[in-house]
Structure 1
Amino acid sequence: MMKKLVLTGAGGRLGSYLREPLSKLAEELVSSDILEDIGTLYPGERYVKADLADASAIHALLEGADMVVHFGAIGDEAPFEDILGPNIIGAYNVWEAAYQKGVRRVVYASSIHAVGMHAKQDFIDTEVAHRPDTFYGLAKCFAEDLGKMYWDKRGLESVHLRILSCAQVTSARALGTWLSYDDLIQLVTRAIDTPTVGFSVIYGVSDNDRAPVDNSRASHLGYRPRDNAEQFALDILAAEPLADSTDSAQMCHGGAFAAVDLGQSGQAQMSIVDDKKKV
């Protein structure tokens, strides 16, 4: 068992589902976000408020840590000036602090939006070229390249989880892109407990019949999703209008993010249910 595991973005929706299982993987889970507090803590969990753009705060946060699960960021498209601090400088601060503090591995919440402008009919694998759909996606590309460089130059391992749609299934697109919360937990756990990972990229998606991405190059991580969005297909397709082949939101992997103007919210075009886990 690890002595200390750090989770950034612990106050977010995905972080709320990760806190309890991660608290069981280390003697101490240090959860962090920019909120004043995140409510009731699990046994072995401690909360530290820290701004990702504050290098000194992140270096202090990672002191003595074995690994860091980095989910903290602005989770939507926004003007570049807003993305720059938490998503780009914040990623650098995490990797540099991890290197200086002797952290073994960074597990990073990347995104399909790093490759979101690829055509949806292309069955893309983890080696496909970056093709970001937004400033948000561009920041994910930066962090993936950062992780590769720190592995090549400094031997710091990282796993980059290109999450597709970790939310309730409310659209036809999500029949392929859904990542259940149970599969999210398995994905992060495998990224932590796989003995060696080097630099790895894996798509965060459940075992959907209509999954549009190929994880065969990431099989070494041992992630074997169990859930399938096909259980929702009948109701979703009955309510969905016919597809529009001129709509980038329907024709590109990035969905709504591929269609919005740079700096404009992608989530505002989606129906994301806020089902954040309550302790």
Structure 2
Amino acid sequence: MGSALFGKLVLTGARGNLGNELRAPLSKMARELVTTDILEAPAELLPNETYVQADLGDYDAVEPLLEGAEMVIHFGAIVDERPFEDLHLPNYVGAYNIWQAAWRHGARRVVYASSIHAVGMAENARGIDTDEPHRPDTFYGLAKCFAEDMGRMYWEKRGLEAVCLRILSCTPEPQNVRALGSWLSYRDMVQLVTRAIETPTVGFTVAYGVSNNDRAPVSNHKVGFLGYKPQDNAEDWAEALFAKAVAPDPQDVAQTRVGGPFAAVPLGESGIEAIKRMTEGKK
């Protein structure tokens, strides 16, 4: 991959864990990188990076950022289950604001950090692919369904391409037994986003953000044209993770659905806290 393949790229959610991992590789792909988040700017910026503090729920703040952009990589959101009212502006309205501003300014593509929670109630044992119908497990997952459907509509009605990446569990290392299937390494996440940007034409595409795990409950076989070839495998951590796992329970939807603990929590209650309990070997 050569440098400066694109003119201007915009990255939202740049202060989050995944957004921060994307800043450097994206800067090498563009002459100009605009990064944004609701938080203050990072301590150091890359040579071609401009940071703008902005609230995704405020269209007037978002719209100018997209002027002249070829693509927007939309990773900004609250990344946990919350009451609908808490998610409404950042996750629902924020997604609309990005797509609308991208279209108004003639951008070519939105690369969107969707989530496995858009289909979180699907069973692990079914081996779902990218045609799986929406089955959200939370208000958080429902927001991902909304944005995916909007992405398809903006492609079919307005010609704005979209790649929606249903990310599973993206962490430096797999954290629990569920992650033996769901883990996405940072290295593979960067590769997936890069492929979503570089692929010449995508129309509307859904792909799963998952590493090359032996136990992956999802399949990307229908979107091979993206050229995504994950390099990492959570199986390397299997022995250690099984040693601290909770007891198997076929009635526990946290263990049997692709959304994991998000599939089991009451609507509006944190899924991240439930994942922490699973990681600690607690029910």
With normalisation by structure 1, the TM-score equals 0.96
Q: 1:117 is matched with which residue: 102, 118, 121?
A: 121
- SS of 1:89 mapped into structure 2: helix
Superposed CA offset, 1:107-132 (max 9, x none): 00000000000111110011011000
- TM-aligned CA deviation for residue 89 of structure 1: 0.5
Partner of 2:246: 241
Question: Quick one: which amino acid aligns to residue 112 of structure 1?
Answer: I
Partner of 2:211: 206
Q: 2:276 is matched with which residue: 258, 261, 271?
A: 271
1:50 aligns with 2:84: no
Partner of 1:144: 148
Backbone CA RMSD of aligned residues: 0.9
With normalisation by structure 2, the TM-score equals 0.95
- TM-aligned CA deviation for residue 224 of structure 1: 0.7
- TM-aligned CA deviation for residue 252 of structure 1: 0.7
Taking the aligned partners of 1:154 and 1:66, their CA distance within structure 2 comes to 15
- SS of 1:56 mapped into structure 2: helix
Taking the aligned partners of 1:259 and 1:240, their CA distance within structure 2 comes to 17
- TM-aligned CA deviation for residue 37 of structure 1: 1.5
Say which structure, 1 or 2, has more relative contact order (CA 8 Å, 6+ apart): 1
Taking the aligned partners of 2:34 and 2:263, their CA distance within structure 1 comes to 35
Taking the aligned partners of 1:219 and 1:98, their CA distance within structure 2 comes to 26
Taking the aligned partners of 1:25 and 1:106, their CA distance within structure 2 comes to 16
- TM-aligned CA deviation for residue 2 of structure 1: 1.3
Question: Quick one: which amino acid aligns to residue 92 of structure 1?
Answer: Y
1:251 aligns with 2:228: no
Partner of 2:193: 188
Superposed CA offset, 1:163-193 (max 9, x none): 0000131210000000000000000000000
- TM-aligned CA deviation for residue 241 of structure 1: 3.1
Q: 2:90 is matched with which residue: 86, 89, 108?
A: 86
* Moved beyond 4 Å, runs of 4+: none
Taking the aligned partners of 2:68 and 2:132, their CA distance within structure 1 comes to 35
Segments of structure 2 that go 5 or more residues without pairing to the other structure are 278-283
Question: Quick one: which amino acid aligns to residue 100 of structure 1?
Answer: R
Segments of structure 1 that go 5 or more residues without pairing to the other structure are 273-279
